[in-house]
Structure 1
Amino acid sequence: MNPRLADAGLAIAVTLVLAVVIAADPVGRTSFGGYAFALGFGLILLVRRRLPRTTLVVTLLAIFAYYTLDLPPVGMVLPAIGALFSAAEQHRTYWAVGSAVVLLAVATYFRLDGSEPEATLNGYTFVTELALAAAAIALGSAVRLARESRERTAQIAALTAAEESHAADARMQAERMQIARDLHDTIGHTLSVASLHAGVAAEAPDAAAARPALDQVRAATSDALRELRRTVKVLRSDDASGPEPVQGLAALEPLFAAARTAGLRVETEISVASDALSRSVDAAAYRIVQESLTNVLRHSGASTVRVTARAVEGTLALRIVDDGTSARGSQRTGAGIRGMQERADLLGGTLTAHPAPGGFIVRAEIPARAGGES
């Protein structure tokens, strides 16, 4: 409801109730002054939200002035119910309770004074005014608590929405990084192989000698195109029915074969059971070996590379060593090395890559069951 309309409604209600009580005076007194006060008690409520304590104090003083002028009795609490309600609603509960105590104390004092026999202490009247004051304060407090509860609920909903949005952005960024790493590793490897074979074909003395190299170029570029199509299909698809199949250590042989056809001697020692690694670790190991071979082919000028993989006491240990020129090792510390380190870090492992005597070495240690998979 519009706050102004609510304030106007409360002001009208208080004014009408007091006017009815004044009109029903058992002595038969009628007073325009009494009606004027009734209107004033209502009008002061129009500023109750901005000035709750001022509204309460002015109402109390007006009640005392009302009875000083010997106007028709309307009770001590009834004219103040709007102000008491407003003070409690605006978090001025102590002021409301204190004002109610003052009103009841003053009313009790004058009833005990005995100067007006018809106004002697009446237990029923006292309890009625006490209950009226308590009800006004309790209702104001309940309205305030309900409003604060709605505000807290709205804040929690806003924070939850912001957190969900942040989590969604983080997931999207992680997916983008994963796609970037996969594309870099796969496309970089296949294009490096294609480049090497293209060089061989260019240097071949005749077409017959160049044909095998060109076949390797064709195969490598076909692999790159398949990977691009698969990635684009994943990006365009709204179907999340299941994960894409991942390549692991068991799928390394085609990489080794491609490197061998490019003139690189590849020695392998893969001592990892098929069920020893979780899917994410197996896929990361494949990508690390793939990127390492790409770097060897692209940068090192090596003639031999040795790939070792072991799973010991719940940890996968990878070691890729080549005999390439150490002086060119700085060229192998770009996005590929960062991508491998990110893969290892995400799974709780470590990866180092640096020149070694007579070549270059990549070491990785990753928990075999990382990634929350069994």
Structure 2
Amino acid sequence: MPWLALLILGPLLPAALLEAVSDPPPLLLAGSVAAATVLAWCALQVARGRREPAPAYGWAGVAALVLLSATATSRELWPITLGWAVVALAGALASRLRGNAELVALCALVATAVLTPLTMPDTGVLLALFLATAMATAVGVGLQVRSGREQAVTARRQAVAEERAGMARELHDLVAHEVTGIVVLAQAAAAATPDPTTADVLRRIERSGHDALAQIRAMVQTLRADEEAELRPTGGGAAGLRDLVAEFATSGRARVDARIDDLDLPAAHDAALQRVVSEGLTNVRRHAGEATVVEVSVTQRPGGVGLRIVNDGSGTRGIGPGSGYGLVGARERLERLGGRLDTRLEQDRWILEADLPLADPKDGAS
């Protein structure tokens, strides 16, 4: 960042020329310029992110101020070049403020820069006020830079988390759903075919499907380690729900009794309902492979939509446990829209009930 070096080191030359106009002793001028150059270089390193020696740089500024101001006071002179360097160093420390060590060094540097000019008999108060203003400005700018940097990091992390959560949902909702269907079809075909060779091939397909599901669940668990992203609408209305139920009915042996009203839903509500129905039927496949009856009811009433999925044979010969994230994601979809989802086991029947109000609670609150 050349502009950063120019901003910090550039004012040293005019400050040194201004200090030389007051005709200070050559040794004092040389000491001020040398110390200012070193401290400005330290400020540049801190601003560029070299955090480890930052507190030491701050204490070096304190020492330089104390030593040179003691010499300058006796001659009623002030090391202007050094003053700029400590202001730049204070701003750099504030921009990288993370721990107690940096905070203590920054406070000591600011206090020393403001208090040491007070020892000058005539212009001490005015110089102290000037340095206090300069220090406050530098520290304020540094803290603002620090805040902006942290916000950028947070935004990047949030974007990554949203992308990971979206990928996890796509894996679970789409890929895992289709693989589950393949496994169920392979199970049904293997049980129905009399040819042992064909049955063996179908069992291999089933085992491969199980392995693929296990890998997908592991990937979903890894990807969902961060916060959830908002879901993308992927609805299909009542026709989409009927297609889901019909696909489920043709891939298994259970009798499916479905009653699905014609629906008039916003896109987000429609997508949420589609996903809940899909996940509910997928869970029947997983946990109740020998269910004989599955009931699906979707009813629209004034103010909302109700869903109920019931099956018998819970927990018998399904394709195995899922990752647990499907119903979690479905519940989160409904809750974001003010709805609810409940599941329970009741007399060997697995029951899923969902309620989705049509009025968005956020709209009602505004």
For 1:158 and 1:84, locate their aligned partners in 2 and report how far apart those are by CA, in whole Å: 28
Give the aligned partner of residue 82 of structure 1: 80
Report the equivalent of 1:291: 279
Post-superposition offset of 1:168: 0.5
Residue type at the aligned position of 2:243:
P
Return the alpha-carbon distance in structure 1 between the equivalents of residues 131 and 115 of structure 2.
12
Look up the match of 1:303: 292
- Deviation (angstroms), 1:360: 2.1
The 1:285–1:252 alpha-carbon spacing in structure 2 relative to 1, beyond 3 Å, is same
Shift of 1:96: 4.4
Identity %: 20
Q: Which amino acid aligns with 1:286?
A: Q
CA distance in 2, matches of 1:87, 1:302: 79
Residue of structure 2 equivalent to 1:60: 73
The answer on 1:280 being equivalent to 2:276 is no
Partner-residue secondary structure (3-state), 2:235? coil
* In 2: Cα distance, 1:370 partner to 1:178 partner: 23
Q: Distance in 1 between matches of 2:259 and 2:306?
A: 11
For residues 144-184 of structure 1, what are the alpha-carbon distances to aligned partners after superposition, in whole Å with 9 as ceiling and x for unaligned? 34433442332122112101101101210221122022224
Please give the alpha-carbon distance, in whole angstroms, between the structure 2 residues aligned to 1:297 and 1:14: 84
Alignment of 1:8-47 (within 5 A): 10-11=15-16, 13-18=18-23, 38-45=25-32, 46-47=34-35
- Does the 8 A contact of 1:302 with 1:322 survive in 2? yes
Asked whether the equivalents of residues 302 and 323 of structure 1 are also in contact (C-alpha less than 8 Å), the reply is yes
Q: Conserved in 2, the CA contact under 8 Å of 1:268 and 1:306?
A: yes
The aligned amino acid for 1:252 is L
1:342 corresponding residue in structure 2: 329
Question: Judging changes above 3 Å, is the alpha-carbon distance between structure 1 residues 366 and 333 closer, same or farther for their aligned structure 2 residues?
Answer: farther
Aligned length: 270
Q: CA deviation at 1:282?
A: 2.0
Amino acid at match of 2:235: V
Letter in 2 for 1:256: V
Q: Please name the residue that 1:159 is paired with.
A: 150
Distance in 1 of aligned mates of 2:177 and 2:361? 22
Q: CA RMSD in A?
A: 3.9
Partner of 1:230: none
Alpha-carbon distance, 1:138 to partner: 5.3
Question: Residue 300 of structure 1: SS of its match in structure 2?
Answer: coil
**One-letter amino acid of the counterpart of residue 167, structure 1:** Q
Per the TM alignment, residue 5 of structure 1 is displaced from its structure 2 partner at its CA by 7.9
Distance 2:263 2:233 in 1: 19
Partners of 2:333 and 2:14 in 1: CA distance: 62
What is the deviation of 1:136?
4.7
1-side partners of 2:130 and 2:277: how far apart? 72
Find the counterpart in structure 2 of residue 24 from structure 1. Answer: none
Aligned residue type for 2:145: A
| 1:250 corresponds to 2:253 | no
C-alpha change, 1:3 and 1:198, in structure 2 (3 Å) is closer
1:96-245 matches, within 5 Å, as: 96-100=116-120, 103-104=121-122, 136-137=127-128, 139-184=130-175, 186-188=177-179, 190-192=181-183, 194-195=185-186, 198-199=189-190, 202-203=193-194
Tell whether the 8 Å contact from 1:189 to 1:291 is kept in structure 2 after alignment: no
Letter in 1 for 2:29: G
Structure 1 residues 255, 290: closer, same or farther in 2, change over 3 A?
same
1:14 and 1:41 in contact (8 A); partners too: no
1:44: how far off? Answer: 4.0
The answer to whether the 8 Å contact 1:192/1:297 transfers is: no
Q: Sort the Cα spacing of 1:136 and 1:281 in 2 relative to 1 into closer, same or farther, 3 A.
A: same
Classify the secondary structure of the residue corresponding to 1:309: strand
Describe the shift of the 1:267–1:338 C-alpha distance in structure 2 as closer, same or farther (beyond 3 A): same
Q: Which amino acid aligns with 1:246?
A: G
Of 336, 355, 363, 2:345 maps to: 355
CA offset at residue 254 of structure 1?
2.7
Q: What one-letter code is carried by the residue in structure 2 that aligns with 1:148?
A: V
If you compute each CA radius of gyration, which structure gives the higher value, 1 or 2?
A: 1
SS state at 1:347 partner: helix
What is the alpha-carbon distance in structure 1 between the residues aligned to residue 362 and residue 266 of structure 2?
Answer: 9
Task: Note the alpha carbon deviations across 1:326-345, whole angstroms, 9 max, x for none.
Answer: 4528976523x530232212
Q: Residues 209-229 of structure 1: CA distance to partner in whole angstroms, max 9, x if unpaired? A: xxxxxxxxxxxxxxxxxxxxx
Task: Specify which of 306, 311, 317 is matched with residue 317 of structure 1.
Answer: 306
